[in-house]
Structure 1
Amino acid sequence: MKVGILGGGQLGRMLLQAAANYTVETHVLENDEHCPAAHLCHHFTKGDITDFDTVYSFGKGLDAITIEIEAVNVDALEKLQAEGVKVYPHPSAIRIIKNKVVQKEFYKTNGIPSSDFKVTNSKSEVLDHLDFLPAVHKIGEGGYDGKGVQIINDQFDADKAFDAPSVLEKKVRIKKEIAMIVAMNDKGETALFPASEMMVNPVLNLLDYQVSPAILQDKVLWVVEAVAIKLVKALNSPGLFAVEMFIDEKDEVWVNETAPRVHNSGHHTIEANYCSQYDMLWRIMLQYPLGNTDAILPAAIVNIIGAEGFSGNAVYEGLDEVLKIENAFVHLYGKTITKPGRKMGHVTIIHKDYQDLTHKANKIKNLLRVIS
């Protein structure tokens, strides 16, 4: 079976590492021949994943195709699907999710709990909604890894708002940030990975570290799981989906965003779960039974981020000390150049004791720096 991946970053790299367990011929399309996934696939094609002709030409000889990022040419994927190539997830789901405005309107139409919002097409329209503040402003397309997101508390912030189609979301008083990874196969059967709690860096707006399974009251967990399943069923597409949610101070659950692919919040599943999120996506694409998502042990993830003030060839300061930590698994993404805030890898820690997990996560954060 010939399977293609649009995008060759760290997620594509880990997806290809999991492919070693299956009989599959892998193809990657990416505009950088030095990307993390380039040397792991059977066939690499250099090209633009947003260009119709490039994506269509890449995919027309494949049996199936998936994505590692939403910024792809959906029109080409629709044509490929019409001609018999299996696309995971369906182009219709990617089209909904890749645009934050369309995504929010989809939640509203399908009764998915999500914070109130206004659609803005220019900065002047944000200034028309000062009575709606405080709010979070998200650019419609092109945002990724914390980019394209603004916190707008007052007119001073609004003066620097995106001057492009965006969504202005009412700010939620957050108690916890939760991620749920949901798998659905072509038969409509679903599997849920245990919820993860995310601790976000307020400056970079990136995941700082996370713990899974999240510690939640049963009644809250049931709502989290029910909302995630309802959302994926509404998308009506096989694939793997990461549903990011907020739990507010009243224990109400609100969907923040959805990713139609393997996700950073599921990195820990490589070591911590019987079936990883990457194995699960291969099972879906190859028409195998869904895997066992149970946790083997609780886990924490620490992102390895490029340090402030350093740009250039990456040097991993403190790596030897981290490698000495028991039950810590280091994943470097093969990126040779670092810059402030760039994700360069992650470390997964597994342990039965949550206090030990958070202790080691903080220790690793202080030990490991990416400099140049």
Structure 2
Amino acid sequence: MIEKLVTSNLKMGVIAGGQLGKMLIQEASKWDISTYVLDPDEGCSARNVASVYVKGDFNDFDTVYEFGKRVDILTFELENVNIEALQKLKSEGLKIVPDPDILALIQDKGLQKEFYAKHALPTSSFICCENEEEITEALQTGKLAYPFVQKLRKGGYDGRGVSLIHSSEKTLLDGTSVIEQKVDIDKEIAVIAARNSAGEVRCFPAVEMTFNDETNLVEEIFCPANITQEEAQTAEALAIDIIEKLDMVGLLAIEFFIDKQGQILINEVAPRPHNSGHHTIDSVVTSQLEQLLRAILDLPLGSTKLTSASVMLNLLGEAGYEGPVYYEGFSECLAIDGVKIHLYGKKSTRPSRKMGHVTVLSDSVEHAFKKADQVKNILKVKSWEK
């Protein structure tokens, strides 16, 4: 593998060319790896940084299979991929990281929850329902009570496919679902774990997340999280336990709830680079992206030591603006010490679309927040065409 790296013969395929794919490919370019990206959008973020762009649907069996035949190793930046094609490629000897069987489990939120239950991992109580009638019956028989959270078993992301149901007046989502009793949440945190084929595991320090109530998108992520040392150790131990029980190679982001009683509960996992790890590019010795490459290539994992406290802000399209993008206040923000702006290369904006992120570095989270508040007031994602 090292010889291939040195001679630039290694061809790494990335399924989906959004911002995660773009950032992973940028990291791979430091090691002179040839990168292939598959995405249906010719204007996708990764197109201009990949060695080869292939237009195609990552849910189509033939498209994914033929793409896999062109590369030496394959990974992905989202869960919604044709599993059957990946499994056929795996059976023919292609190295796919993470393993398609693990992706199949994580794709389905019902299977995810059943995995936690099987292994006695702490998570909120749940039932799986095929349709609205089963949910209604569970309410009538006392298996379920308001309020609860309905999650579609497949296809949801960035807050989509998730609905908080307070009463019968709220319309249920249409589809096979996981129904969870609402947790009385005190905090939401995340830990990213990496594991290579030798079984070495490293965790990034826990981050804390705040969410926008309207969009259900992450608003701010800060590190170190405002939690006790015991809570941090518990979350890290659970992250290690999960990635080892999955026997997974790659990167696993684990989102946790801390409830009002101080109990740490697993919410969801993602087998890929994650929004909660963007700050690592600027504030950790080894970024989540480099760590994934190390895991993929059977290399020793890197240090996850923090080099700076940080606050990460998602750059979202402003309400009322749609069309060709411009970034109001860009130069003013760069004048603030410790502000790092990452743009995803999306040419067109719309309300709440993820257009980039900003990491604010400082000697403490408190100081970073003060500068982050300045950034929020100054930097706006707008359009030339309102």
Moved more, 283-292 or 5-14: 283-292
Does residue 341 of structure 2 align to residue 361 of structure 1?
A: no
Q: Deviation per CA, 1:329-357: give whole Å up to 9, x if none.
A: 00011111111111110000111122111
Q: Indicate the residue corresponding to 1:41 in structure 2.
A: 50
Deviation of the 1:125 alpha carbon: 2.5
Q: Which residue of 287, 298, 321 maps to 1:276?
A: 287
Partner Cα separation in structure 1 for residue 65 and residue 15 of structure 2: 11
| 1:124-163 to 2 correspondences below 5 Å | 124-130=133-139, 131-157=144-170, 160-163=171-174
Does residue 316 of structure 2 align to residue 305 of structure 1?
A: yes
Q: Indicate the residue corresponding to 1:28 in structure 2.
A: 37
| SS of 1:132 mapped into structure 2 | coil
Q: Indicate the residue corresponding to 1:175 in structure 2.
A: 186
Q: Which residue of 11, 14, 21 maps to 1:5?
A: 14
Q: Indicate the residue corresponding to 1:266 in structure 2.
A: 277
Deviation of the 1:28 alpha carbon: 0.4
CA contact (8 A) 2:198 2:298 kept: no
Partner Cα separation in structure 1 for residue 137 and residue 318 of structure 2: 38
CA contact (8 A) 1:209 1:361 kept: no
Code of the residue aligned with 1:369 in structure 2: it is K
Deviation of the 1:239 alpha carbon: 0.6
Partner Cα separation in structure 1 for residue 147 and residue 245 of structure 2: 30
CA contact (8 A) 1:306 1:371 kept: yes
Q: Which residue of 218, 227, 231 maps to 1:220?
A: 231
Q: Indicate the residue corresponding to 2:334 in structure 1.
A: 323
Partner Cα separation in structure 2 for residue 358 and residue 195 of structure 1: 17
Deviation of the 1:363 alpha carbon: 2.1
Partner Cα separation in structure 1 for residue 306 and residue 253 of structure 2: 17
Code of the residue aligned with 1:59 in structure 2: it is G
Partner Cα separation in structure 1 for residue 153 and residue 226 of structure 2: 33
Aligned length: 370
Moved over 4 A (4+): none
| SS of 1:89 mapped into structure 2 | coil
Q: Indicate the residue corresponding to 1:343 in structure 2.
A: 354
Code of the residue aligned with 1:77 in structure 2: it is L
Q: Deviation per CA, 1:238-264: give whole Å up to 9, x if none.
A: 010100001111111001100000001
Q: Indicate the residue corresponding to 1:285 in structure 2.
A: 296
- List runs of 5+ in structure 2 lacking aligned partners: 1-9
| SS of 1:145 mapped into structure 2 | coil
Please, what is the CA RMSD of the aligned residues? 1.1
Q: Deviation per CA, 1:118-175: give whole Å up to 9, x if none.
A: 2122223223334422111111111111111101111111xx1112101111111111
Tell me the TM-score normalised to structure 1 length: 0.97
Partner Cα separation in structure 1 for residue 93 and residue 69 of structure 2: 9
- List runs of 5+ in structure 1 lacking aligned partners: none
Partner Cα separation in structure 1 for residue 91 and residue 199 of structure 2: 20
CA contact (8 A) 1:126 1:161 kept: no
Moved more, 249-258 or 213-222: 213-222
Q: Percent identity?
A: 43
| SS of 1:155 mapped into structure 2 | coil
Q: Which residue of 246, 256, 281 maps to 1:235?
A: 246
Tell me the TM-score normalised to structure 2 length: 0.94
Code of the residue aligned with 1:172 in structure 2: it is V
